[in-house]
Structure 1
Amino acid sequence: MADISMNLLFRSFLRIGLLSFGGPAAQISVMHEELVERRGWLSEEHFLGALSFCMLLPGPEAMQLATYAGWRLRGVPGGLIAGLLFVLPGAAVILVLGLGYAIWGGVPLVQVVFVGVKAAVVVIVLQALLKLARRALVGRDSWVLAGAGFVAMFFLSVPFPLIIAVAALWGWWSHRGVAAKANPVAAPTVKATATLTTALVWGALWAAPILAAWAAGATFLSDLALFFSKLAVVTFGGAYAVLAYMTDTVVATKGWLTTPQMIDALGLAETTPGPLILVTEFVGLLAGYAQGGPGLAVTAAFLTLWVTFVPCFLWIFTGAPYIESILARPRLKGALAGISAAVVGVILNLSLWFALHVLFERVTGTRFGPLPEWSTFSAVNLGMISVAGLLLWGAQLSMLRVLGLMAALSGAWHVLI
């Protein structure tokens, strides 16, 4: 472990946490500048290798990269400091914004402002789709997987975990016979018993609140915890990849939120520091508020945070000693490539789903996908989406500025017209 004081480690990762706006690409850039360029704590090769490892895992790769860096520098205490400081600033903001939205979200002015936010969200998700597509679609197989993922989810309502599993198996199978790296990596320096102990401890921490809610007969909380625990295991490809699956479950299956609330949730999550998967905290909070008011809302928010991020520490602290060995296995990389390709199709489904619900007042779910009622088309909302696209792609403004400008434009439009 590096000879770095905990105080300096704390200050560095607090800076990263407070500046972690703009999604994983921007967050990883901030970490690279702080840890590689400014401090020199990690080499370029080690940083990129750790990033590749984190992309193999479910969950937010930027948060897990921060946790790994902290673990590498000061062991488990360092990993906890780094991971928590990456999440907690944004989580605190989401808690405040979420409570305000739950209490005042029905006020007409608030609803008007969020029309512009929703329009910006459509463009932001489309931008994420294009970025991922450029990186993930590199051959015919990847295009086929992306197309199949879209058709399976949009038209056939195939569950997201099944799409991910099939894509991973295909990627694994298609890389059969590919040789591992020529220079084998040394065996990990930790014993198998230590690895098992780490996994059991963090697994127990993950399960503890779920079991407590179940034992107390808190049906809603245990149901909430189980769902977001499952989500934590299948969150490959970032938060955008699971939003459609999460939305379908919390809106159509559970009835915890409405479709407009889900789009607002993503808009609010985009304005805060930290990983975008913090949108789960907002969803848990609103669901809790609808079930039992502010007290249950706060409890649900904390429970959702716990089952979303404790698994991240489990993956990192268990797998970090084996990082070089894992990255030397081409079939694992093949599985990841298959997942990334399928996720492009899943995010295309999400983009179209969001656009339909912003452009049309009523969208009906059918056996073969959502069907808009054409008489409810909104030309104003189409104009808002176009303006958001010009600001984000034409003027190259930051995501935060676009969200703020679109909220202001929407409010001004409804006041003046």
Structure 2
Amino acid sequence: MSNSTLGRLGELAQLFFKLGVIGFGGPVAHIAMIEDEVVKRRQWLTREHFLDLIGATNLIPGPNSTEMAIHVGYIYAGWLGLIVAGVSFILPAVLITGGFAGIYVTYGTLPQVAPILYGIKPVVLAVVINALWGLAKKAVKTRKLLVIALAVVVILLVLKLNEVFALLIGGILGMIWLQSGNKKTPPAEQANFLIASLTTGATLKATVASAAVATASTPANVPLWQLGWFFLKIGSVLFGGGFVLIAFLQGELVGEYGWLTQQQLLDAIAIGQFTPGPVLSTATFIGYIIAGVPGAIVSTLGIFLPSFVFTAALNPLVPRLRASKWTGAFLDAVNVSAVALMVVVTIQLVVATLTLAKAPFVDFLAVAIAISSAVLAIRFRINAAWLVLGGAVIGSGAAVLGYVR
């Protein structure tokens, strides 16, 4: 292995481990941080290529931000880069979650981190808005694409349609509309969109249904292979992120198999919400509760392994999709639909982060943290790591002063 390759692998490991440590706020925030580092600061990818990867990643199962890290690693340093970037991004969340699981099993309680999260959440909001503005400027290239984006926002907010189906609808109908006036496109290319559509959503319901087939066991004697197989199936069919994961866990681990109590599930979800990195690290916590360290290992491997496989298979197809007029239009439409999805999530973040349930209904300290973080990120290009650290300090100080509990 050449020194150049080793250097690139070292860069990937350092970058994505750092992002895994500071990656609070969910996949949209993670993607915003990745975009800031690999597009703006290091220029490993163009913003257009980054958008193509976001659009494509939204159409396969698994955690989007983890898959974006894997994509970047593959592009920058090949197959080893794919593994190094993905593992480095996942590892901090797994280690932190595993540590909390050990504390939980030993003492039966969770550590109090609400003040720290209070200060971090407005910072994450600022980072997301900064990245969203840059991505939107590149994605919304024409009036037609703006209309597609607005239509997807309406579909998501008003019709409450599943995110994946909203992206597919935006992509396929947008592709047809964008190419409807192109008389020179060979008819054969009209079939090319199947590469992007039939390989994603066509078998979704069947695979989700098959994921429910398993043999029940008691928590005391759950075989490791069965625990790993359970999470492998979830990782292979999981569209929609953390909320869909919760539905799977509630229906099967608590309801069907009885491997967890309701309270243990709620505590596992809480761990996933206040630890950095991908929320799927919840599997590490659950695996530890059910079968100790070996259970944590097989659960983690099971839920994340499909992301590496799907991303490795998808990455070489993205340039081919872009090269065709029809599938290029499909990617344009999916990209702008993905930006629309980020807009909807950002609106939800704004409401959850900056509002209060009672008068004055606006959390002025959170607003001040968000605005100052946005200024520091946009005007002075302060790295997100320092902003997150500053937010954590402010949140802890607010708790000492009695502003937040």
Normalising by structure 2, report the TM-score. 0.66
Q: Output the CA distance in 2 between the equivalents of 1:157 and 1:298.
A: 36
Query: How far does residue 360 in structure 1 lie from its aligned partner after superposition?
Result: 5.5
8 A contact 2:98–2:284 mirrored in 1:
yes
Q: Deviations over 1:222-269 (max 9, x none)?
A: 5543343234xx6xxxxxxxxxx323313466445688656534xx22
Q: Output the CA distance in 2 between the equivalents of 1:291 and 1:142.
A: 48
Aligned position for 2:390: 405
Q: Deviations over 1:335-358 (max 9, x none)?
A: 111112222221122122223333
Q: Deviations over 1:68-91 (max 9, x none)?
A: 454xxxxxxxx3212112222222
Q: Output the CA distance in 2 between the equivalents of 1:51 and 1:115.
A: 30
Structure 2 residue identity aligned to 1:155 = V
Aligned position for 1:375: 358
Question: Which blocks of at least 5 consecutive residues in structure 2 are unaligned?
Answer: 20-32, 58-63, 187-198, 200-206, 216-222, 251-264
Query: How far does residue 405 in structure 1 lie from its aligned partner after superposition?
Result: 0.6
Alignment partner of 1:172 is 2:155? no
Which of 107, 111, 116 aligns to 1:113? It is 116
Query: How far does residue 408 in structure 1 lie from its aligned partner after superposition?
Result: 0.6
Aligned position for 1:131: 134
Aligned position for 1:75: none
Aligned position for 2:368: 386
Q: Output the CA distance in 2 between the equivalents of 1:102 and 1:333.
A: 45
Aligned position for 2:338: 343
Q: Against the structure 1 CA distance between its residues 55 and 378, is the aligned structure 2 distance closer, same or farther, given a 3 Å change threshold? A: closer
Aligned position for 2:38: 27
State how many pairs are aligned: 326
Q: Deviations over 1:120-167 (max 9, x none)?
A: 223333333322222212333222222222222233321111111111
The sequence identity of aligned pairs, in percent, is 13
8 A contact 1:64–1:316 mirrored in 2:
yes
8 A contact 2:115–2:398 mirrored in 1:
no
8 A contact 1:102–1:286 mirrored in 2:
yes
Aligned position for 2:262: none
Aligned position for 2:25: none
Q: Output the CA distance in 1 between the equivalents of 2:184 and 2:352.
A: 47
8 A contact 1:167–1:339 mirrored in 2:
yes
Which of 248, 251, 274 aligns to 1:264? It is 274
Aligned position for 1:162: 165
Q: Against the structure 1 CA distance between its residues 26 and 162, is the aligned structure 2 distance closer, same or farther, given a 3 Å change threshold? A: same
Query: How far does residue 10 in structure 1 lie from its aligned partner after superposition?
Result: 2.8
8 A contact 1:133–1:344 mirrored in 2:
yes
Structure 1 residue identity aligned to 2:14 = L
Normalising by structure 1, report the TM-score. 0.65
Aligned position for 1:229: 236
Q: Deviations over 1:6-46 (max 9, x none)?
A: 4541332222331344313422466656xxxxxxxxxx9xx
Secondary structure in 2 aligned to 1:19? helix
Q: Output the CA distance in 2 between the equivalents of 1:53 and 1:129.
A: 15
Q: Output the CA distance in 2 between the equivalents of 1:13 and 1:156.
A: 44
Query: How far does residue 377 in structure 1 lie from its aligned partner after superposition?
Result: 7.0
8 A contact 1:114–1:264 mirrored in 2:
yes
Question: Which blocks of at least 5 consecutive residues in structure 1 are unaligned?
Answer: 34-43, 71-78, 182-198, 200-206, 235-244, 270-278, 362-373
